[in-house]
Amino acid sequence: MTTTWEIETLESGLRVVTTPVSTAQSVSVNVFVGVGSRAEKPRTNGLSHYLEHMMFKGTDRRPTSIHIAEAIEGAGGVLNAYTSQEVTCYWNQVPFDKLTLAMDVLADMMLHAKIEQEEVDRERTVVQQEIRRAYDQPSAWASHLLSEASFGDQPLGWPVAGTLETVEEMNRDDLTNHISTWYVPENMVLSVAGNTTHAEVVAAARDLFGGLTGEAPPPVSTATDGTPERNVIVEARDITQSNMAISLRALSRTDPDRYALLILNAILGRGMSSRLFKEVRERRGLAYAIGSGVTRYNDTGTLSISAGVSPEDVSEATKVIKAELMKLVDEPVGEAEMTKARDYSIGSFRLSLETPMALAQRTGELLLMLGEIEPIDDVVAKIGAITAADVQRVAKRLFRNDNLSMSLVGPGADEATLAAVLAA
């Protein structure tokens, strides 16, 4: 069955996309805003995430966060939000007969959030506790440090949630200015999927989101090229495991090689039959968990590898991981492994789109960031057409000594030692 969607741009400039799923018992309503941490300044690092919290703190009609939560949860639904480097998304999922309520709650938040000073001050410590929680999770903190090791002192190298210090200094004017600058129709997408129709969604959107106004937002600066001078960051801690991560600058959302990179990543580090899992865990017993992943931004991206190893095994694990990277440069992947990787990638892509929530997330983000939605069958065809030569070409493009960064949280190594291992 082919999944289809319909798109309409309202008079205000707000884009609405609907993905009907007639057999679903739910609808997922998502509001995407094209702003995240990479649009921030050093003083306001973490502002997009802070505002994400504040948008739930009450409107004139629903004065507190409890009123907002009870409106959705009282209908049997769930609600939440997230902030990334380039996107802020507010979402809820409700039984299909509660669609109008779900859209009303999100529209009320987008248009009438009060952002009261008392709530700003109260939420400040909540956001700071979220930052502290990430610090207390070594693997999460290694990921944070990896961004800095990969991008240095520019927005993509900063933490999405900011720091304790930047959050402490933010004020109500920062938050309200952020809304007026970025929460404007041209920079937002309403994406709905589930048991509904496009006509029903558009009619409700015109009624509920009609008050959205504002001019087009300013451009966001592009990422600077090259690996930072400090491309290895170690934070020594007296814990029993070394949490390590390796990153390579990779491909943007629109790079023609992006599907070849998906196959390369599947071969390298997705699943228990991937090369890293077999070599690092099964053959050498160096780690319990190891894997790789791809992140794409508008103008760049990363391929990252993470693992937890014993302190005495850090250097060996780093050498083994790098050797696996270089094998993909030096040797074409065999056809049996290519077939498995293509089937795995196509299968996991299809399985990731089983729910209305997943469909709404995909269509909303693609429409916001790219201005169009690539048909699912087209993606499947492009993944299926990737060859071993394509994978090797991308490996040669990315896997270079001058394109490696690394972070480590725990005992076992210093920055100079690891930098030497990466450069060998």
Tell me the pLDDT tens digit for each residue of 290-335.
999 999 999 999 999 999 999 999 999 999 999 999 999 999 999 9
Question: What pLDDT, on the 0 to 100 scale, is given for residue 2?
Answer: 61
CA distance 176 to 117: 11
Q: What mean pLDDT, rounded, does the chain reach?
A: 97
CA distance 102 to 97: 10
Domains of the chain by residue range: 6-208, 232-423
6-208 with 232-423: one CATH topology? Answer: yes
Read off the pLDDT of each residue in 226-230 and give the average, rounded to a whole number.
95
CATH topology of domain 6-208: Cytochrome Bc1 Complex; Chain A, domain 1 (3.30.830)
Which distant-in-sequence residues (6+ apart) come within 8 Å of 179 by Cβ? Answer: 51, 113, 115
For CA atoms 417, 419, 421, 424, give the dihedral sign. negative
Q: Which two tokens stand for residue 260?
A: 């070849």
Tell me the pLDDT tens digit for each residue of 248-277.
999 999 999 999 999 999 999 999 999 999
Judged against a pLDDT cut of 60, whether residue 1 lies above it is answered with no
Half-sphere exposure of 42 (CA within 13 A, CB side): 3
Which distant-in-sequence residues (6+ apart) come within 8 Å of 226 by Cβ? Answer: none
Q: Which residue has the tokens 């004139």?
A: 60
Q: Looking at residue 299, what DSSP letter applies?
A: S
CB of 347 closer than 8 Å to CB of 263 = no
Read off the pLDDT of each residue in 194-211 and give the average, rounded to a whole number.
97
Ramachandran quadrant class, 423 (left: phi over 0; alpha: psi -120 to 50; beta: rest): alpha
Percent of the chain predicted with pLDDT > 90? 98
What is the band of 3 on the pLDDT scale with cuts at 50, 70, 90? confident
Q: Which CATH class name applies to 232-423?
A: alpha beta
Is 324 catalytic? The answer is: no
- Looking at 6, 8, 40, 52, which residue is catalytic? 52
Burial class (CB in 10 A: 0-12, 13-18, 19+), 210: middle
Cβ atoms < 10 Å from Cβ of 158: 23
pTM above 0.85, yes or no: yes
Read off the pLDDT of each residue in 9-35 and give the average, rounded to a whole number.
98
Tell me the pLDDT tens digit for each residue of 51-76.
999 999 999 999 999 999 999 999 99
